[in-house]
Amino acid sequence: MKKRDAYTLVVALLGILVGVLLSVTVNQARSARKLKVSNGEWQKLNLILQTISNEYVDTIDYKKVTEAAVSEALASLDPHSVYMPPVELEASETELAGNFEGIGIQFNVPNDTAIVLEVIPGGPAEKVGMLQGDRLLKVDETVIAGVKFPQDSMVRRMKGPSGTKVTITVSRDGVEIPFEISRGKIPVHSVDAAFMIDDTTGYIRLSKFAKNTAKEFLTSSEELLRHGMKHLIFDLRDNTGGYLDQALLLSKMFLDKGQTIVYTEGLHSPREDFKADGKGFMKKTRLTVLINEGSASSSEIFAGAIQDNDRGIIVGRRSFGKGLVQKPYFFSDGSGMRLTVARFHTPSGRCIQKPYSEDYQYDIYRRYEKGEMYDADSIKVNKDEEYRTLKGRKVYGGGGIVPDVFVPVDTTKVTDYYMKVRSKASAMRFASYYFDSHKAELTAIDSFDALLRYLDGASLDRAFRQFVATRDGISPSSEEEWQQTVPYLMTQVRALVGRYSKLGDQAYYHLFLDYDTVIEEALKPHSID
């Protein structure tokens, strides 16, 4: 065959092949266009999934595709409608359930080795003899010390169904001790601390609205009333919320009969009002509520109810702005979802929920950038949404609860020296180091007055300064910088060391109040005009 004829033949064959491919592509495109979409609300989604099932080139992981589709579908609705695989759902439910199954210890990891901060009374770990200050070396045969083992992975390995066994090997005074522990139900407390600040002022810090929150609060507040409390400072800072019914029960303790606590309303959820029954025993107690940018959901419901009914003073910074009602749905495979079905409104009519935006999850950073954390005039409120409290005070919508008394973030205490030791977690590591050599004295302390006497005579500032210089190579640039840093920094150090006493978190939060500008403001007399 001549070269010219061969060339002509190749070109002709290529033309035929390209034509065939174009024909297939065009036919497939025409076929795809013929997939009819009716007016059914979910018909297109069903059609796509069915087509994938019938036509996709490879074997399909139906679970993976389904969960991806569900997650994206819910994420497109609002920031809080969410799908949860079985593991996430279990963790979420456990956090609020009021108990979990495990060994019953609280620990921290200051130096790549976990140290036991608290052995929960009556728990499995206490029964076998674990002590505060023990270093955790192994869980069963897995080494967790000195290997940068993730803290959440430690927790997962120690938790487990009641009755199952786990061996925890600890180091105590240089001796390795293996403890075989039968896991059991461990109570989870939501009241972190409750104590008297002075002769008439009580303080309660609440970390979450869990299953047993109202019961815990009742017990704590009754104890404070017996000690002469006339004024309660109720700390909801960084409380991310939880169960609505617990927020309602707490609100009822302070409000008169018939006063609205909150109402909910949605497209498919008719308005529902929740009111106080007038049976609360705290109706005559002066109340100050502390909130900040980390206070959300049930915290905002409580704060909004107190503010709109002029029942107390709200002190701090604007709350998070999470005012959506999530209804839980559970599936037979152990997964679940929380779907937004309504919005929360305070008694005056304010919607607690802040607007959705593209940078919704970075809203707190934006507050810093725009000056809101430092200046009350920079707080973002919608002046078009003006409402009135029971006594006629102006309050505004736009997202979150704006406090009656604003307290800015205090940056005057933050020196270069402070930032350097903070970056090294020096205060936490020093507390662990100090406890090792003063274990007998600290664990014997069981009263706050005794703890204060001990800390005042311990020369912690000198010991800490030497520890940081030796271990971390950090020293203040001048004596002036050290003196400027000492009050704020050493308050934290004292609180962390005090935590190793029998008082635990009670000591930690009590000591930390000494340099808390929000508490300082809350202790001042404020009237509701």
**Contact call for residues 273 and 283 (beta carbons, < 8 A):** no
Q: Where in the chain is the domain with CATH 3.90.226.10?
A: 191-406
Round to whole Å and give the CA distance between 483 and 461: 11
pLDDT of residue 413: 78
* C-alpha 477: how far from chain center: 36
Q: What is the pLDDT of residue 483?
A: 94
Q: Which residue positions in the chain have pLDDT lower than 70?
A: 1-40, 87, 89-99
Of the listed 251, 297, 299, 348, which one is catalytic? 297
Tell me what pLDDT residue 495 has.
94
For 191-406, which CATH superfamily applies?
2-enoyl-CoA Hydratase; Chain A, domain 1 (3.90.226.10)
Q: Give pLDDT, residue 252.
A: 98
Domain 99-187, CATH: 2.30.42.10
- At 21 the pLDDT is 42
CATH 2.30.42.10 residue ranges of the chain are 99-187
Q: Who's near 88: CB < 8 A, 6+ residues apart? A: none
Q: Which amino acid is at 433?
A: Y
> What are the beta bridge partners of residue 105?
119
- Report pLDDT digits (tens) over 427-477: 988 998 898 889 899 989 999 999 999 999 999 999 999 999 999 999 999
User: What's the pLDDT at 91?
Assistant: 66
Q: Which of 134, 308, 363, 516 is catalytic?
A: 308
39 by Cβ neighbours in 10 Å (0-12 / 13-18 / 19+) ranks as exposed
Six token digits for residue 310: 């002029």
Q: Is 322 a catalytic residue?
A: yes
- Classify strands 231-235 and 260-266 as parallel, antiparallel or unpaired: unpaired
Per the residue annotation, which of 252, 275, 322, 354 is the catalytic one?
322
pTM of the model: 0.82
Query: How far apart are alpha carbons 320 and 317 in whole angstroms?
Result: 9
